[in-house]
Amino acid sequence: MTSHKLIHRRRFLEKAVLTGTAMASTPHLLEATQSTPALTLGFSTYGAKTLSTEAAITMIAKTGFDSIELTIWPDWDANPAKMGPKRRKEIRKRLTDAGLRVTSLMEHLHIDERKRTPAQRLERLKLAAGLAHDLSPQRPPLLQTTIGGGGKWAEKRNAYAAEIADWMTIADTHDLVIAVKPHRGGAFSRPSEASELLTGLGKPKRLKMCYDYSHYDFRDMTLEGTIRTSLPHVGHIAVKDVVRRNKRLRFVLPGEGGRIDYSRLITQFHRGGYRGDICVEISGQVWSQKGYEPLAAARSCYKHLAQAFINAKVARGS
């Protein structure tokens, strides 16, 4: 399918979710498209492990998304250590033909993990930078990653900061933006800790924060408060829901939990000046379940979030 047809299909799908009040907001959506920079709505291949990168690109574009995040862990299809020049060129062409922008690469670089040395983590950063520039030379995607496991922030902070300072040397040399993600249950789990980390390192231009409210919900953090703290630092936004089941918290598809107001999230980040990706990240708690189907999940997420953009009267682009 040609790039023109896929883009046309994406806009058709966007219009298809319009109903009632949302239809009345269309003129504002068009006005925003003409006058302001747009956000993108993306889908991460973290929710499509059973698909090849090529198949995932096709699925994500046809569903209607503007952008894609590639999961590049060692045992995933898009692992840069195993992707040669020919295939990189083919994937770049497929992305272009699909009208799909690659906005981020997902890694898993835990600083306190003993199975991988600091030197090996630096090598993974170099590999990620190479893939980023090969797939999108003009607008290379950032790398988003969690940085550690459990423990207390006060005890882990200095070691994390010291290694991330070394990461910045690679980021500067290889022109790579890195977004670190506060993660529920980890020592590094709050936007305030991300702000402290980035500020302590002198706010490097290639170091950002990845925001994901599902890791702050059901805690002493509000949507508005976390957005306010994150705005000066955020480089990437991941979205999914979290629910309480049998006294335990579990991640679910965006919209399934009903607690996160995505139109409000989009509005507040947009008003605050954020102009990056809003990316669906489907948890392993979901995609590891028997009967999980990537296409059905992608369609469900797209319908909910495309409507949230319309309700927020915020334009989407690529």
Handedness of CA 165, 179, 148, 230 (dihedral sign): positive
- CA 217 to chain CA centroid, nearest Å: 18
What is residue 318's predicted lDDT score, i.e. its pLDDT? 75
Per-residue pLDDT of 44-75, as tens digits, reads 999 999 999 999 999 999 999 999 999 999 99
**What share of the chain has pLDDT > 70, as a percent?**
88
Backbone angles phi, psi at 306, to 5 degrees: -60, -40
More confident residue, 1 or 104: 104
Query: CA angle, 315 as apex, 233 and 181 as ends, to 5°?
Result: 25
Q: Is 69 exposed, middle or buried (0-12, 13-18, 19+ CB in 10 A)?
A: buried
Query: CA angle, 81 as apex, 50 and 90 as ends, to 5°?
Result: 65
208 strand-pairing partners: 179
Name the residue ranges covered by the structural domains of the chain.
3-312
Per-residue pLDDT of 254-301, as tens digits, reads 999 999 999 999 999 999 999 999 999 999 999 999 999 999 999 999
> What 3-state DSSP class applies to 177?
coil
Closest Cα to residue 69, out of 299, 316, 237, 275? 237
pTM of the entire structure? 0.89
Q: Angle of helix 118-135 relative to helix 153-174, nearest 10 degrees?
A: 40
Q: Does domain 3-312 have CATH number 3.20.20.150?
A: yes
Q: Cα(221)–Cα(20) distance, rounded to whole angstroms? A: 33
DSSP 8-state symbol, 235:
E
Rounded alpha-carbon distances, angstroms, from residue 270 to 169, 179, 203, 275: 31, 19, 21, 7
What is residue 10's predicted lDDT score, i.e. its pLDDT? 52
Neighbours of 122 (CB within 10 A): 16
| Own/partner pairs, 303-307, CB within 8 angstroms, 24+ separation | 303/17, 304/253, 304/254, 304/255, 304/262, 305/41, 305/239, 305/254, 305/255, 305/262, 305/278, 305/280, 306/13, 306/14, 306/17, 306/41, 306/64, 307/17, 307/22
Is the model's pLDDT at 13 over the cut of 90? no
**What share of the chain has pLDDT > 90, as a percent?**
85
Q: Is 318 exposed, middle or buried (0-12, 13-18, 19+ CB in 10 A)?
A: middle
